[in-house]
């Protein structure tokens, strides 16, 4: 029987403390979350409760909306207290949506990576045109938008096509294992942001022809 | 009140990669339903935000899952995008030991009419409806054009109540255009309720400009606590104009989500 909560509990008991840019520490019966960079700071704004996590995850340091929660731009300057394990789980689902569950599925052998070509072939409406992206354009786009430094912290599990691996990213980006104590952020299928980028690439190429 | 202590509920919203407020009502209604403790799990999923429709099922432990689209009407997203992305085969999908039950969108609920009237009265307290024109504003002309049909149906139902002197449809991009609201109304008071899920790009940034109550896009609603709604009413074009927040931000929407789950069960009940 699946249990995301039990998985989180077991991971913490085994010494788990990091997910993405978040550091987790036990605090009485509950937990305290901070930005990894802020662990030594003493001037952090104290926040409490799950719903504060939604707002903290939603904007970067400049107050700009973060549509991609695994972008490496988590805001600084706060510490968040949550009361118990279920609250921690919900807070982590705001900071890194679905990442606990996706990791659980992977560890149970229930995560099926979807090649980019399959994702694009499924699109309808305004995104149908993404099927016209060339392999070369797709590799360049992925190299630009998915890269670990400045793009997205998830590790990519999918190829471009079943027999076409990704060629424009670092080996680290394609490695699903994480250091001890760190919960991996896994990408089993291209996100809608990347599909939208693919549309931009195709449209731009069409205009230049 | 419906209680499903062994089931999961997933609210599906559109979301946005640009506007920070598009997902807010979906998260808010989910948080309210979690607070009531009626389901084993409650999650959100989005087309344009995270968790995505391709991720959300991995968040779920329960074997019975209800999906409720937090959309204003049936349309392209509820009929094509959501079933495709969640790999649904019909109202009931059985896969990998799970049963996924796909409910009607929140906006299709019969109580939408009641909510629209409630919102219109709340934004213009003490203003006599018999001296008011009520506009229900939809998007018009896009893939999801069923929302225009739904908005028209709501206008007919509210008009039939005979409470408002006039009840009118208007759209952003097709006639009757909301920008010509003064030409389509004769009453001294004008109440405008956006038939949208969120105070996102359209209802907060576009329609105020079309109404003439903002010179240019005021930016995201969450960044303007003292913005468009706080300045009601507006004296414009010889009338008193009241502009409401999008109908989907109404807290009673959480009740409609639960009622769509109950309606699904009633419609798919197995005879004893």
pLDDT, tens digit, 9 for 90 and up, residues B129-160 = 999 999 999 887 655 568 888 899 999 999 99
Span A111-157, pLDDT tens digits: 999 999 999 999 999 999 999 999 999 999 999 999 999 999 999 99
CA angle A187, A9, B30 (to 5 degrees): 65
- Both tokens assigned to A140: 């360049």
pLDDT at B236: 95
Helix or strand run (H / E) with residue B271: none
Judged against a pLDDT cut of 90, whether residue B105 lies above it is answered with yes
DSSP for residue A164? B
The pLDDT of residue B173 = 85
Report which of B133, B17, B117, B13 is spatially closest to residue B67, judged by C-alpha positions: B13
Grouping H, G, I as helix, E, B as strand and the rest as coil, residue B4 is strand
B31 burial (CB, 10 Å; 0-12 / 13-18 / 19+) is middle
B55 reaches A (C-beta below 8 A): yes
Q: Residue B87's closest chain A neighbor by CA? A: A122
The confidence band for B272, taking pLDDT boundaries of 50, 70 and 90, is: low
Counting residues of chain B whose pLDDT is more than 90, the rounded percentage is: 80
**The CA-based dihedral angle spanning residues B15, B17, B21, B26, taken in that order and rounded to the nearest 10 degrees:** 20
B229 touches chain A (CB under 8 A): no
Tell me the per-residue pLDDT of B208-252, one tens digit each, with 9 for 90 and over: 999 999 877 767 777 665 578 889 999 999 999 999 999 999 999
CA A21 to the chain's CA centroid: 10
Please give the helix or strand (H or E) that residue A1 lies within, else none: none
Q: What is the β-pairing status of strands A155-156 and A186-187?
A: parallel
Task: Output DSSP code: residue A20.
Answer: T
The Cα A173–Cα A169 span in angstroms is 6
Q: What is the pLDDT of residues B45-82, one digit of tens each?
A: 999 999 999 999 999 999 999 999 999 988 889 999 99
Under DSSP, the state recorded for A127 is: G
What is the maximum alpha-carbon separation in chain A? 63
The 10s digit of each residue's pLDDT in B3-31 is 999 999 999 999 999 999 999 999 999 99
Predicted confidence (pLDDT) per residue in A40-60, tens digit: 999 999 999 999 999 999 999
Which pTM was predicted?
A: 0.94
pLDDT digits (tens, 9 = 90+) for A46-100: 999 999 999 999 999 999 999 999 999 999 999 999 999 999 999 999 999 999 9
Contact B213, B236 (CB under 8 A): yes
Contact between A153 and A71 (Cβ < 8 Å): yes
**Residue B20: both structure tokens together:** 């920070």
CB contact under 8 A, A101 and B84: no
Burial A104-114 (b: 16+ CB within 10 A, else e): bbbeeeebeee
Q: What are phi and psi of B211, to 5 degrees?
A: -75, -20
Alpha-carbon span B266 to B260, nearest angstrom: 10
pLDDT at B216: 74
Is residue A115 within 8 Å of A161, Cβ to Cβ? yes
Query: Could you tell me if B52 lies within 8 Å of chain A, comparing CB atoms?
Result: yes
State the pLDDT at residue B222.
Answer: 72
Average pLDDT over every residue of A182-201? 97
B60 chain-A contacts, CB cut-off 8 A: 2, 101
Neighbouring C-alpha atoms within 13 Å toward the C-beta of A208: 6
Separation between Cα atoms, residue A26 and residue A3, nearest integer Å = 21
pLDDT (average), residues B87-105: 97
Per-residue pLDDT at A209: 80
Which of B40, B55, B80, B142 to substitute to test the interface with A, most A CBs within 10 Å? Answer: B55
The alpha carbon of A43 is separated from its chain's Cα centroid by a whole number of angstroms, namely 28
- Cα distances from A154 to residues A19, B86, B215, in angstroms, run 11, 22, 41
- Sort out which chain A residues have CB atoms less than 8 A from B30's CB and list them: none
- Record the tokens describing residue A108, joined without a space: 């149970």
A92, B32, B154, B224 from A57: Cα distances, Å: 10, 19, 37, 19
User: Which A residues, 51 through 70, put their C-beta within 8 Å of a C-beta on chain B?
Assistant: 51, 54, 58-59, 63, 65, 67-70
* Residue in A96, A192, A199, A200 to test binding to B, most B beta-carbons within 10 Å: A192
- Interface probe for A, chosen from B42, B59, B98 (most Cβ of A below 10 Å), is B59
Cis (ω within 30 of 0) for the bond into A178? no
The pLDDT of residue B120 is above 60: yes
Contacts of A196 (CB under 8 A, 6+ apart): A127, B17
Cis previous bond, B51, omega within 30: yes
- Facing A189 at nearest CB: one of B17, B47, B54: B54
User: In the numeric block, which tokens belong to residue A164?
Assistant: 């076409």
- The Cα of A40 is separated from the nearest Cα of chain B by a number of Å equal to 30
Give the model confidence (pLDDT) of B167-195 as tens digits. Answer: 999 999 888 999 999 999 999 999 999 99
Q: Are β-strands A30-35 and A22-27 bridged in parallel, bridged antiparallel, or unpaired? A: antiparallel
Task: Give me chain A's average pLDDT, please.
Answer: 97
β-partners of residue B137 are: B170, B194
B79 lies within 8 A of chain A by CB: no
At residue B163's C-alpha, the angle toward residues B157 and B168, to 5°, is 55
Q: How far apart are CA B147 and CA B128, in angstroms?
A: 28
B161 pLDDT band, cuts 50/70/90, is very high
């Amino acid at each position: 029987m699946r249990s995301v909560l039990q998985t989180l509990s077991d991971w913490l008991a085994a010494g788990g403390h990091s997910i993405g840019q978040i550091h987790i520490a036990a605090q009485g019966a509950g937990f305290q979350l901070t930005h990894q960079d802020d662990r030594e700071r003493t001037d952090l704004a104290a926040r409490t409760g799950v719903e504060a996590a939604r707002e903290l995850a939603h904007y970067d340091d400049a107050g700009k909306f973060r549509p991609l929660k695994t972008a490496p731009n988590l805001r600084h300057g706060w510490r968040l207290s949550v009361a118990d394990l279920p609250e921690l789980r919900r807070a982590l689902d705001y900071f890194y949506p679905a990442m606990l569950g996706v990791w659980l599925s992977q560890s149970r052998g229930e995560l099926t990576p979807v090649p980019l070509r399959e994702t694009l072939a499924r699109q309808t409406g305004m995104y149908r045109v993404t099927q016209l992206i060339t392999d070369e354009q797709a590799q360049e786009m992925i190299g630009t938008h998915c890269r670990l430094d400045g793009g997205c912290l998830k590790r990519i599990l999918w190829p471009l096509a079943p027999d076409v691996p990704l060629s424009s990213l670092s080996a680290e980006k394609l490695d699903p294992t994480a250091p001890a104590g760190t919960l991996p952020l896994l990408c089993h299928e291209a996100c809608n942001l990347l599909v939208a980028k693919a549309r931009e690439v195709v449209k731009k190429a069409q205009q230049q022809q | 009140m419906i209680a499903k202590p062994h089931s999961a509920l997933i609210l599906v919203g559109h979301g946005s990669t640009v506007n920070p407020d598009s997902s807010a009502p979906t998260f808010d209604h989910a948080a309210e339903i979690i607070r009531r403790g009626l389901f084993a799990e409650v999650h959100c999923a989005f087309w344009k935000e995270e968790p995505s429709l391709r991720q959300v099922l991995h968040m779920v432990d329960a074997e019975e899952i209800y999906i409720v689209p937090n959309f204003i009407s049936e349309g392209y997203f509820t009929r094509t995008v959501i079933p495709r992305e969640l790999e649904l085969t019909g109202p009931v999908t059985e896969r990998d030991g799970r049963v996924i039950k796909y409910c009607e969108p929140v906006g299709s609920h019969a109580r939408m009419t009641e909510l629209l009237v409630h919102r219109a009265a709340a934004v213009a307290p003490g203003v006599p409806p018999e001296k008011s024109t009520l506009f229900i504003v939809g998007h018009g002309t896009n893939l999801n054009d069923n929302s225009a049909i739904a908005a028209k149906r709501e206008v007919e139902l509210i008009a039939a109540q005979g409470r408002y002197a006039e009840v009118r449809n208007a759209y952003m991009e097709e006639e009757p255009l909301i920008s010509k609201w003064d030409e389509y109304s004769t009453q001294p008071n004008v109440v405008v309720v956006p038939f949208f899920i969120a105070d996102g790009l359209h209802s907060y940034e576009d329609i105020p400009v079309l109404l003439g109550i903002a010179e240019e896009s005021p930016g995201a609603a969450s960044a303007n606590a003292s913005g468009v709604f706080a300045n009601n009413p507006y004296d414009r074009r010889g009338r008193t104009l009241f502009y409401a927040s999008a109908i989907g931000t109404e807290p009673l929407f959480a009740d409609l989500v639960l009622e769509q789950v109950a309606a699904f069960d009633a419609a798919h009940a197995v005879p004893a």
